[in-house]
Chain A
Amino acid sequence: MSADASSGSARTVRRAASKDGIPQAAMAFQGERAGLISRIIANALDFGLVVIVLVSGYVGYAAVLFLLSPTSFTFPSPRLGLAIIIGGAMLTLYFWVSWATSGRTYGDLVMGLRVVNWRGEKMRWSGALIRAGFCVVFPIGLFWVLISGANRSVQDLVLRTSVIYDWGHQTPPVAPAH
């Protein structure tokens, strides 16, 4: 990793941000690694979104059961372990696809964040999958952002990724395969 490459990616983010009509007050920190509060809010939004999807799926499942047997219908009561597994899988799938395609989830989009690899580029599918599973299995790793001197979570340190402020709408290029 060269210094030119890394600084070039930062300039790329700012240049793209300047074209997206970002207010002047926000131009200074475009491309910087995001802090804990922004990331918690983004993750909360993503979690809520997945919960909504899960609840919707539950209601849809219950509706199907009601239509199949209205007289003997009772709301299904899934086991907690199964619910956690399904929820974790949904969250992992959601993070994976979001980071591998646009580099940001819905929560990241709202908070103006983007997940990039060590070169400042969009993650590859494999790296996005590993980071998604790591985040779901070890969510408390996020709080390492406070301790880290570079606003990095445990997942960021292990996988050499970063969550940066990026209020623009341009998706960074895909990282070349190594």
Chain B
Amino acid sequence: MGFGIVAIATEVVLRVIATSSGRSTTGEPAGRTVVDAALGAGWSAARATGAVVGLTTRMAGPFVGVLVDPPLVPQSLRPATALDAVAHRWREDREQLTLEAMRVSRTAVPAVIDSVATTLDLDAAISTIVDRLDLDRLVQHVLRRLDLDEIAGQAISELDLTPIINDAVRRVDLQPVVTEVIDQLDLAAVITQVLKEVDLTTIVTDQVDLGTVVNSALDDLDLTALVMQRVDLVGIADYVVDAIDLPGIVRDSTGSIATETVRTVRLQAVDADRVVARLVDRLTLRGGRARKLGAPGEAEALTDPEEPETETLGPNA
């Protein structure tokens, strides 16, 4: 077993040496065969030695046991007693020695690592290691092992994001970012969706003092100048005139006035007719005989059984 480990280590060292010197053992089968043969021979010898030692131990075990702890010999004189004393001494000193070794190692290991790091090309070594790793499988395996949600939640809860975000905002040129976002977004659809889900009317009426807003806007605006500048008053006037049919209104109002005037003239003329008729009737001494002003044919039909005598205009009418 020990030789196997030594053999493998030897092979590794030889490969490293070959690689560092620019020669590949895979490119020289003869040399590799020699090395493998040497190591194989050593491995066989070691195995044979191990087998012999094992067999010897098993065969000599009982004899060694008797020799170490012979029966009928006082306990103090037995070799086992001396061995136990040695073992007991080791157990007592082992802890102190371990602590001493750890102290030494704490002092020595950094120096050794520093020396190794100074000696070795760590970048190349790490690059080689990274090149040989299947990073995809490794990352996937790590990700499977990790609970990313919990880690992210824990990180967010422990982080003070405000300075981070402020620093990021200061460092990032937001203009192209925002421009890109706007280019990518369908702003019309987004705004439409937002407006569908928000009751703007209620929000505005509840939250905004519309009277103050309107009054402030009106105070700041010169409405007359604004209207004169931006409104096509002539076009609006033409539209209004076309829409309300002004000639028709003028015509109707004029006709109404004319109708009223005609009615007045007619009534005055009728009154004049009656005055003149009454005057003539008195001058001609017609007396109580009333003028027969009824409908045509009344001269032939002096009485009408169905019509009251409203048509007649007597002298005292």
Contact = CB atoms under 8 A, between A and B. Distances in A.
Q: Do A and B bind each other?
A: yes
Q: Which 9 A-B pairs have the closest CB atoms?
A: A35-B273, A6-B297, A10-B295, A3-B301, A37-B272, A7-B304, A32-B293, A162-B296, A120-B296
Contacts of B262: 110, 112
The majority secondary structure among interface residues of chain B is: loop
B311 A149 contact: no
Interface residues of B, number: 35
B159 to A, nearest CB: 90
Interface in A122-173: 146-147, 149-151, 161-162, 164-165, 167
Interface string A50-86: 0000000000000000000000000000000000000
A161 B295 CA distance: 11
Given A26-B266, A26-B267, A6 B301 contact: yes
Interface of A: 1-3, 5-7, 9-11, 13, 23, 25-26, 28-29, 31-38, 41, 110-112, 116-120, 146-147, 149-151, 161-162, 164-165, 167
B295 to A, nearest CB: 3
A149 B263 contact: no
Contacts of A26: 263, 266-267, 270
A36 B273 contact: yes
Nearest to A31: B295
B310 interface: yes
Interface of B: 262-263, 265-267, 269-270, 272-274, 276-277, 280, 284, 286, 289, 291-301, 303-307, 310-311, 313
B270 A38 contact: yes
Given A35-B272, A37-B272, A151-B277, A10 B294 contact: yes
Contacts of A111: 265-266, 269
Contacts of B291: 149-151
A25 to B, nearest CB: 7
Nearest to A38: B269
Nearest to A25: B267
B277 A35 contact: yes
B309 to A, nearest CB: 11
B276 A146 contact: yes
A11 B284 CA distance: 32
